[in-house]
Chains A and B, each alone.
Chain A
Amino acid sequence: MSRSVTLHHLIYPAHCVHNAIAAYESLCKVTIVETQPDRTMVQIQTEVDINDSNVVGEFLNYLLDMSMESHFRES
């Protein structure tokens, strides 16, 4: 059970993506499928049906929070 998500660096800086993947290591498997200068595509895998799981949403909220912190720290 997996879902692919494209994360644009305008919103989600690359270092935040890596940090979020590391933080969610014990909850789900997030693999970087493709990296481009402006975006990173990840695949999120869960053991249960991904549609029944909130882990994708939680991962994205966590990543958004980290990205906000990074944005305000740098501005």
Chain B
Amino acid sequence: METKPCHISWVREFSDNELQVCVNLELYTRDALFRVCYVFTDRCYLFLEPKDAGDEVIVHFSRKTSTTDLSGIAGEFANELINQRIREEIARETRTIQELIVAQAFAEADLLDRTDSKASYIDDPRHIAG
């Protein structure tokens, strides 16, 4: 199998039939890696191989059909890793409000303090205007 030069410098190996990308698990969690891999299972066959210390995983891609562009897959995969990592971060930051919304949706009682919510803006009970 002939190895081709790839215009993406961080691609570990690239040929007609196989692409290898190394993912650092200190930057991207295993959750994020799994979610990203799932996105590509409709177009590629994937095989994950941890490196010796276990802090890096080599993701092997092979195409499912001859029309799949593996060099394009490399870029998409890297962008999707960042996308999933940010989603994780946003989920962590907004966890409290998400839990409150779900709790409110399923609770019979009103969990929110609405004593001021029907007050006149002219009265400004929370002193929003300063």
Residues of A within 8 A of B (CB): 5-6, 8, 10-12, 54, 56-58, 60-61, 64-65, 67-68, 71-72, 75
Q: Judging by beta carbons under 8 Å apart, are B46 and A71 in contact?
A: no
Provide the residues of chain B in CB contact with A5, threshold 8 Å. 47
Question: Once the chains are docked, how many angstroms separate the CA of A59 from the CA of B108?
Answer: 48
Give the contact-size bracket for chain B: 10 to 19
Q: Judging by beta carbons under 8 Å apart, are A68 and B38 in contact?
A: yes
Q: Judging by beta carbons under 8 Å apart, are A60 and B47 in contact?
A: yes
Residues of B within 8 A of A (CB): 30-31, 34-35, 37-38, 41, 45-50, 54, 57, 62, 64
Q: Judging by beta carbons under 8 Å apart, are A57 and B62 in contact?
A: yes
Chain B proximity of A68: nearest CB distance (Å): 5
Closest to B65 in A: A54
